[in-house]
A and B are shown apart, each in its own frame.
Chain A
């Protein structure tokens, strides 16, 4: 059966705390911490972007499956912060991995679900038999305007998945997509920061689509919440994944393994994919996992995976997601953060 043969994560080591941001804007840090369940978020260094993080995560995925990169037939990067407006991120990634030149490359963009879009297409290409292996990456150096509510959550990180037929770590039992035209969050051409519809991003956007995709895929598979060991949802803040999980009938213990947002922030296209890597890090053969992404605009992709015995051989071959999150952290002050994120305009 087709499924994940290798997975890898990458999280930059820099962090900034909610209090540090709130201090600058005179905002009420406790209400952000309590209301949105956010404590700190990751920040990319000045020389890091979606491409560099994609390379890091993809290398970790390769370490777990030990395949010849030349056998990768598709390299897809999903992000809303591709460094170039014109010129693919995927070409740099494919070159860095040694997968060129017989490889198909495309960049995906669908707000925070671009990563799972790449996974959806790669999985289904592998299913056709047209390619032996395919690589899908969700990565973002998310933008949040200074002082905006998004600034407390917009973070950086990447997750990579190699799909194939042999030596599969997690079989893909089902995939499903749910989408409507719902303008809850957007960034127009030439704008640096996105705009959002405030509370409109909740019920008619996130909750409607995540619930729609989760119910749709469970119906399709004939499964119910209690059939899953783990579930991970898109994590725009700490609260939403637990609330949507409760609405669907999942328990806290099924959600918290892949719930990284309180210490990581919202890594946009990397968000639910990173949750999946954290789950795979601790899962056992036979575990069933549900992942549901969410991208503004708006839609959700959902997958059901079943972990195989192969996980025991692959798990320790690359850094685990919780290790990347908890170790080697470097805390920034707001000034450094503003410089790193190019929020300060220099003369040259």
Chain B
């Protein structure tokens, strides 16, 4: 297997991009990545997108976007594993370069979610849950994560305030990210007094509905060394599945797919949790960040809430988590999220993260999760 590097990244401002279409958002973002990499041709591309059909009525977007990027006839594939689509697009690009089949691969993710109303968006997102065992009963994602949150509070004594602190921390980081959808700070009080969505989760516990894309260019490390002074390598990649219905899990508070994907990534990279300097994790709801950190072994089981209360995961803490603002403040265009996490890790490792730069990180991890944890992709990166 060849070693693989990330040689270019691209992301534009996320938010309610009503004046731009799906293809426009994609092309603007992908061109930034090509520019950053210093290449104008690619060998193949992957696009992570959860539900372009339900959101904008357009399927077959792999070819459409290759065309509008001016790259046909390169092979292009759309990847779908719900909210983990972007992370999996990265993994497949990584595998293709590592295998020697291609040299320069564009990995990207996109979702245009605000062309439909809130009910339609909730329905589209809900299709990532088990339609027969969950959707049929009317539950939506805030409800599923509320069950996880309630179970975590019962089992480990995690407090309502600790959940709020996850959002407060991520907004504090997001306030330093000019591309974030909500680049401003919030307080514990504002979280606790925001509209109740699904008890105990309130609106400020939930990631938003967002339009946006993210793109990165991968190539062999040998090639990257000739093109870039500073090379960021992908040293570990893990992907795992779990039952997508919560009712099929033994423990509501434990994200087995995240544990399994993490285990595989750690093994490939030959690293341990304590080797990781910075993390981007899938905080689609505040409770998710807590559960993910436990499943990745970053904190002890049941201690995720305490970790944020102790400010361990803050920007200047022992292990900064979601320095980009996370899904909560940066936004969550579902298919794009997994690739945007990679961009943040790469920027941090290159020392180019601006006001939110962590001091000299060397190893970073990105964890991207689909649904209520039915699929997870984990990657580990290292600066040479």
Contact = CB atoms under 8 A, between A and B. Distances in A.
Interface of A: 28, 31, 197-200, 203-204
Interface residues of B, number: 8
B72 interface: no
B360 interface: no
A198 B118 contact: yes
A30 B337 CA distance: 34
Contacts of A204: 18-19
Interface in B270-307: none
Given A198-B118, A199-B16, 9 more contacts: A28-B195, A197-B117, A198-B117, A200-B16, A200-B18, A200-B114, A203-B16, A204-B18, A204-B19
B22 to A, nearest CB: 16
A31 B16 contact: no
Contacts of B18: 200, 204
Contacts of A199: 16, 114
A145 B16 CA distance: 25
B123 to A, nearest CB: 14
B268 interface: no
B118 A31 contact: no
Contacts, number: 14
A197 B114 CA distance: 9
A109 B16 CA distance: 30
A28 B198 CA distance: 13
Contacts of B64: none
Question: Closest 6 interchain pairs by CB?
Answer: A198-B117, A31-B195, A204-B18, A198-B118, A28-B195, A200-B18
B227 interface: no
B112 to A, nearest CB: 13
B357 to A, nearest CB: 32
Contacts of A197: 117
Interface in B163-203: 195-196
B197 to A, nearest CB: 10
Contacts of A198: 117-118
A197 B117 CA distance: 6
A203 B18 CA distance: 10
Nearest to B194: A31
Interface in B185-230: 195-196
B16 A28 contact: no
A31 B202 CA distance: 13
A9 B366 CA distance: 62
Contacts of A28: 195-196
Contacts of B117: 197-198
Interface in B45-69: none
Interface in B76-125: 114, 117-118
A187 to B, nearest CB: 15
Which of A197, A198, A204 has the most B CB atoms < 10 Å from its CB?
A: A198
A227 B19 CA distance: 35
A171 B323 CA distance: 59
Interface in B20-63: none
9 contacts: A28-B195, A28-B196, A31-B195, A197-B117, A198-B117, A199-B16, A199-B114, A200-B16, A203-B16
A31 B193 CA distance: 10
Nearest to A196: B117
A199 B118 CA distance: 9
A291 B133 CA distance: 55
A203 B19 CA distance: 12
Contacts of B114: 199-200
A3 B183 CA distance: 48
A65 to B, nearest CB: 45
B182 to A, nearest CB: 13
Contacts of B195: 28, 31
B341 to A, nearest CB: 26
Nearest to B121: A198
Interface in B111-144: 114, 117-118
A28 B114 CA distance: 24
A43 B34 CA distance: 59
A209 to B, nearest CB: 15
B159 to A, nearest CB: 23
B39 to A, nearest CB: 36
B44 to A, nearest CB: 36
Nearest to B195: A31
A328 B195 CA distance: 35
Nearest to B117: A198
Contacts of B19: 204
A279 to B, nearest CB: 34
A181 B196 CA distance: 36
A204 B16 CA distance: 11
A275 to B, nearest CB: 29
A200 B114 CA distance: 9
A232 to B, nearest CB: 28
B174 to A, nearest CB: 19
A203 B114 CA distance: 14
